[in-house]
Structure 1
Amino acid sequence: MVLGRGKTWDVGLDLGATLVKAVLVPEGRSVASYETFVCAARDTALLDAFLRSIRTGLVAATGGGSYRLAEAPIPPSLVNEFEAWGVGERLLLQTAGFVPTDPHLLVSLGTGTSILRVDAPGRVTRVGGTALGGGTLRGLGRLLLGDGDHEMLAALARQGDRTRVDLTVGDVYPTGQIALPADLTAANFGKGQSRSPGDLAAAVVGLVGENVALLAGAHAAFLRAASPTFRRSRGQATVDVLYAGSTLRGQDVLRQVLADVTAMTGARARFLPGGEFAGALGALEMTRRGVPAPAPPASPR
């Protein structure tokens, strides 16, 4: 990345378990005009070198790793992660080309997965989540294929056929014997007839995508039943589930699995453009507004 010399940059950081996502905005400019920077969370030297290479103004941080920066030469303003995601989502929706239902779900697919309920006034509540996510993809990739590289797994999954690894309903029941689609997964990895890297990668992506979407769909069904907005629609409205996060980057197969399974649950999947930077954008915007930082976690005794 080449940034303009002589500029002062406001920086928003989202420090996750796997990646650090950063947005950089010229001081005094709207966050709509942002540049990005991404590095591995473990590569603290690279992050430090990058921050030292630019002239920084305001620095904001969110995510599980943000508290590690408390003793930095210029400590950042710390922002609640889920609130930051809600604010960042609203900023990104300004250019997304669609308006989600009110309320809707925002699913943050990072190393693990969080499911957030978002209401129109900007209220964000974490309603659920799962330990399945990008960390699962990389971990199983290393164990099964000897490599957990994100881009490699995405490319292999496009070439693979997971029906040679997963057991389907059609493998168990003769056609017409049960009111379920024959290609529905009955057991992830339940067939196990192929050791092809592509087939295994596709099966791993399917395992994560199906279970994340089923969980999100269950929360969407509860939201539809409990929300006065959807009750007034007399069953005609569909809850939007917005998927975002770095795990989706380049993962066409994962996106398709999420879309298909979410639709099966009666909800509608949407994908937030630039969603992997929602936390960093939200943290920067909240800090610019002077939103109070959360208290740091208590030191272990």
Structure 2
Amino acid sequence: MQQITAGIDAGGSLIKIVYKENGRMHFKKFPSNKQDSSISWLKTIAPSLRVSLAGGKAAAIQKKYFHDSIIIPEFQAASDGVRFLLAKENISIEESYLIVNIGTGTSWHVVKGDKSERILGSGMGGGTFTGLGSLLTQVQDYQLLTILAEEGNKEKVDMLVKDIYDSNDSPINGELTAANFAKGKKLNHTEADRLASLSNMIAETIVLLTSQAATIHQVNHVVIIGTSMIGNPSLKRALEFYLNMVGLTTVFLEKGEYCGAIGAYLSV
């Protein structure tokens, strides 16, 4: 029987699985509350299995299902996965760069050659969008929230610079946010508008921290990964726009949400 190797990234919201079969790499994800069914599925397709684990719930999965597996530090796995995908997508970054991993929260890593270091973390991320978005709209599903955010108009909720200054007098771009949710007391906005404002606030906060980190560590390239980018065009567009505005080159990896699982797989 052919033995299959797999990497599992067990995060706070999703379990991501990467395995290789017949020379092809496969990707699969499950909600974290479907842990039993996700592992049962994996063992069904690959009865003979070698596994490496990463993520916050890795120890629990190791104890329950894979006693002989190894656990790779989460941040190391993510960085190794980024290097793998950059090479796979023929993207060359000759200098040091930042990894911004937007999952339930957000973490920042600086990569210098073969070394990487986590330098910053924030509670602002996909968990913020889902949790606060549910409070603002009563919608619980993440993908429905992203669809609504794409349909909304943040100008109905956010106060922009142009709302304060006449266009000829504005010292900075009038389309920039002066105050998030400052028009919230008005009644002429929809659930979609509130979600557009929320998505923009998350993007602005991440860009602000990224810009500061890039200045401190003297880097010009930012690689964006993480599950919060999945099916979330409003967040991606805002990140790209603001990062470009502050002079940073942005890279979005096609399978960026699987970097941790890929890094674990590479260590099997």
Q: TM-score, normalised by structure 2?
A: 0.93
Structure 2 SS opposite 1:270: strand
1:147 and 1:166 map into 2 onto residues whose CA distance is 21
Report deviation, 1:101: 4.5
1:49 and 1:70 map into 2 onto residues whose CA distance is 14
User: Does residue 1:258 correspond to 2:239, yes or no?
Assistant: yes
What residue is the counterpart of 2:112 in the other structure?
119
What residue is the counterpart of 1:13 in the other structure?
8
Deviations 1:63-109 (A, max 9, x none): 11111123224322100111111111111112224222410001101
Deviation >3 Å, runs of 4+? none
Q: TM-score, normalised by structure 1?
A: 0.83
1:137 aligned to 112, 129, 138, which one? 129
User: Does residue 1:150 correspond to 2:145, yes or no?
Assistant: no
**In the comparison of the two structures, how many residue pairs are matched?**
264
What letter matches 1:21 in structure 2?
K
Instruction: Return closer, same or farther for 1:68/1:185 CA change in 2, 3 Å cut-off.
Output: same
Kept in 2: contact 1:101–1:239 (CA 8 A): no
Kept in 1: contact 2:13–2:104 (CA 8 A): yes
Kept in 2: contact 1:221–1:266 (CA 8 A): no
What residue is the counterpart of 1:199 in the other structure?
193
Report deviation, 1:189: 0.6
2:183 and 2:257 map into 1 onto residues whose CA distance is 34
2:135 and 2:28 map into 1 onto residues whose CA distance is 29
What letter matches 2:28 in structure 1?
F
1:240 aligned to 190, 208, 221, which one? 221
The aligned runs of 1:77-116 (5 Å cut-off) are 77-116=70-109
Instruction: Calculate the aligned-residue CA RMSD, in Å.
Output: 1.6
Kept in 1: contact 2:153–2:192 (CA 8 A): yes
The aligned runs of 1:11-50 (5 Å cut-off) are 11-26=6-21, 29=23, 33-50=24-41
User: Does residue 1:164 correspond to 2:159, yes or no?
Assistant: no
Report deviation, 1:129: 2.0
2:194 and 2:94 map into 1 onto residues whose CA distance is 36
What residue is the counterpart of 1:299 in the other structure?
none
What residue is the counterpart of 1:214 in the other structure?
208
Deviations 1:174-194 (A, max 9, x none): 223342111100111111234
What letter matches 1:105 in structure 2?
L
Q: Indicate the larger mover: 267-276 or 161-170.
A: 267-276
Kept in 1: contact 2:162–2:170 (CA 8 A): no
Report deviation, 1:7: 4.6
Tell me, which stretches of 5 or more residues in structure 1 are unaligned?
1-5, 225-237, 289-301
1:254 and 1:108 map into 2 onto residues whose CA distance is 13
1:216 and 1:101 map into 2 onto residues whose CA distance is 19
Instruction: Return closer, same or farther for 1:220/1:14 CA change in 2, 3 Å cut-off.
Output: same
